[in-house]
Each structure stands twice: as structure tokens, then as C-alpha cells.
Amino acid sequence: MQPIRVLVVDDSVVIRRLVTGLLAEDPRIEVVGTAINGRAALQKVAQFQPDLVTMDIEMPEMDGIEAVRRLRASGSRMPIIMFSTLTERGAVATLDALAAGASDYVPKPANVGSVGRSMEQVREALIPRIMSLVPRVFPRQADRPGAVAAPAARAAQAVTCRQPRQPAGGYRLLVIGSSTGGPEAVNTLLASLPPLPVPVALVQHMPPLFTRQFAARLDRQFPFSVVEAGPDEALVPGKVVIAPGDHHLEVVAAAGGFRGRLTQGPPENYCRPAVDVLFRTAAQAAGGAVLSVVLTGMGSDGCKGAKVLVDAGGSVLAQDEATSVVWGMPGAVATAGLTEAVLPLKELAAEIMRRLSQPALRSTGPVPVRTGGAAVTQR
């Protein structure tokens, strides 16, 4: 198996050495070159044709955001991972980069003076993303935290979708989970939805500050409210509530409706916030009156919570593989037989509205199921 070929772009010689050093330790990865700014990166991409690029944001001559824009304008679909700082400014710039077409991001090491710890922080964040964004069938890949099966390994797995069902009184809550590729997927999904007749709660894997900026950005775009959840957040129709970084968002029943409760319980699936926590507590609060959606993301967060939802009578929809940046989270619920429909991103909004606009399913047969070529059965 040929190693994954990576180009490292950063104006800091310290960061370039740190990243190239830790990547060189992994036999599955080959660093084919480095660049000191976005302009040089464009030249090196044309020269080396890497499988993936790690890209700093703030650089002289041409910053990382403009480099991403130009690569995408040229038709390149090569994965790009941004290096971002955990600051308000860094959060805004990172979201700009994702909107420009970057695939994902990792935090830049905060203390480059401690080389050993800095390398470990970057390794833990960067390696799993590289392996997921550029899948290969490597030995023991499934044993590593956050790893997902490569497409070749998944091809033999049948996707079995459940017979669609709807609670007699209709859905009372919509919950959404996403990770890698999620910011733009969430943006696309919400852009196709009107203010909804049920509360919406969402977990996007992001650190603190990033979720606040993410919510604020979405709130400016749409005709409904999007907020980062507070300690005792009212979950009401016409509002989308996003879990803050480093906090789980739990749903609790309250006075005929629902409220969001924040906790800092142990990470689940290496994540806080975790989709499993949101889905599990939504099922506990609303029983089968929950519609859930699993969007693009690395790993399998949401799968255990989706099982709790299904057992309580709720419904699970998932984004298909063809439109997912990484088909880890949606693939996990789909191959576990928990979904009622697996659809392209642009068709999910219509299916959500169809579910929310009727108190019970009409007997017109199952909804379409599209999985990007995987075997499908309906039960």
C-alpha cells in the first residue's frame, strides 16, 4: 500500500519541523514537501500532487483561506486540514476556511516550547483525520481511536434501513449530530429549512469559542434563531440550540416542553460534546417523538445514542456516503440498521419537512434510500 502523500504549509519553521517530524514517524504517511505561504503552496500542490495538505491560516503574501479558495476554484477536491489557534480570531478564521472549502481543522500547539507535548497534541488530532480523509486499507486501522473503515472494507457491508414510522402525535423534537465536514453540512441543511414547528438541538464536534462563533454565524444567515446553549436553555420551536464546546448538551422534560442542560461529564467517543449524550437524553425526555439526523463525521459518535432512540420509538435519518466528507458517523448508524432513510445532504431537508408536517405516515410505501452504491434492503 502506497503511503498517503502530505504537503505541510506553514510560515513558522518550528511548526513545519514539528509537523513533518511527527508525520515522518508514521509509515503510512509520506511528507512530500513543505511551503512557507499560500502562494508557494499552490506551486507545490501542482508540482507534487499530494493526497492531502495541512494548511496554516495566517501567512504572508497569501494566507491559508485564500489558498483554499484558489485550490477549490481550480477544481481540486484534495482534502485540506487547517491549523487554527484556539482564540476568537482563530475560530472566525477557521470557519471562514471551512466555508471556503477546507475539509477539517486541528488546533495549533499552544506551547511550542514543550516539543514533546506539542508533538503529542498534534499527533492525536492530526493522524486520525488524515487517515479518515484519505482512506487506505491499513493493518489494524480499526483499532485506533477515531478510525473508520475504508470504502473498500465497507463495500461488503449491507445497509439495512428500517421501515419508516412516525409517532401518533407527531415528532416533538429534532436532534442533529455532526463532526468532520459538519459545519458546512449543517449550513447547507439549515439553509433549506424554514423555522420549524419543533425545537432543534445540535451537537457539532468543536472546541470552546468555536461553537459560539459557529452559532453566531448561522444566526446571521437564517430567518430563525441559532444560539449556543446556555446552562438552562429553553428548547422551543423556531430555535436551533448548539452544544457549547467542552460541554455535553442534555435534553430534559420541563413544563410540557424541553430544556437543554449542560454538563461536563466524561467524554464519550473521545468527544465532549458528544452526539450520543444528546440522542440518549432526547429519547429519555421525549420517548419516540424524536426525529434524529446524523451528518458527516469521523468515528461512530451517535450510534449508541441512536440505538436508544430507536428502542424508544424514535427515528434516525443519515447523510449518504457520496455527499459526506467522512462517512464514519452516518455510516455507523446506517450499517447498524438504525436508519429509516440514508439520503444525499440536499434531500435531507425535504425529508425532515415531510416528517414534521404530518402526524402519521401515510401508507404510500417507504421513502427512497440512497447510499452511494452500498447494498440496501428495507425491513
pLDDT tens profile 31-51: 999 999 999 999 999 999 999
Least confident residue range of 283-292, 323-332, 368-377: 368-377
Q: Which of 10, 26, 118, 205 is catalytic?
A: 205
Buried b (16+ CB within 10 A) or exposed e, 300-324: bbbbbbbbbbbebbbbbbbbbbebb
Please say if the pLDDT value at position 360 is more than 60: no
CATH class of the domain defined by 154-361+368-378: alpha beta
Q: Please, is 353 exposed, middle or buried when counting C-beta atoms within 10 Å of its C-beta (0-12, 13-18, 19+)?
A: middle
Per-residue pLDDT tens digits for 229-254: 999 999 999 999 999 999 999 999 99
**In whole numbers, what is the pLDDT of the chain averaged over residues?**
88
The winner for highest mean pLDDT among 154-158, 272-276, 367-371 is 272-276
pTM value is 0.88
Q: 90: closest CA among 115, 61, 127, 65? A: 65
**Model pLDDT for residues 50-75, shown as the tens digit of each residue:** 999 999 999 999 999 999 999 999 99
How far the first Cα of the chain sits from its last, in Å, is 38
Q: Measured between alpha carbons, how far is 326 from 79 in angstroms, rounded to an integer?
A: 11
192 belongs to the catalytic site:
no
Whole-number pLDDT of residue 109? 72
Distance, in Å, from the CA atom of 80 to the CA atom of 91, rounded to the nearest integer, reads 17
Q: In what order do the strands lie in the sheet with 232-235?
A: 232-235, 257-263, 248-254
Question: What residue ranges do the domains of the chain occupy?
Answer: 4-134, 154-361+368-378
The catalytically annotated residue of 84, 118, 179, 300 is 179
Active-site residue, selected from the candidate residues 178, 301, 320, 324: 301
Under CATH, what is the fold of the domain 4-134?
Rossmann fold (3.40.50)
Percent helix, strand and coil across the chain, each rounded to 5? 35, 25, 40
Residue 107's DSSP bridge partners are 84
Clarify whether 179 is annotated catalytic: yes
- The radius of gyration computed from the CA coordinates of the chain, to the nearest angstrom, equals 21
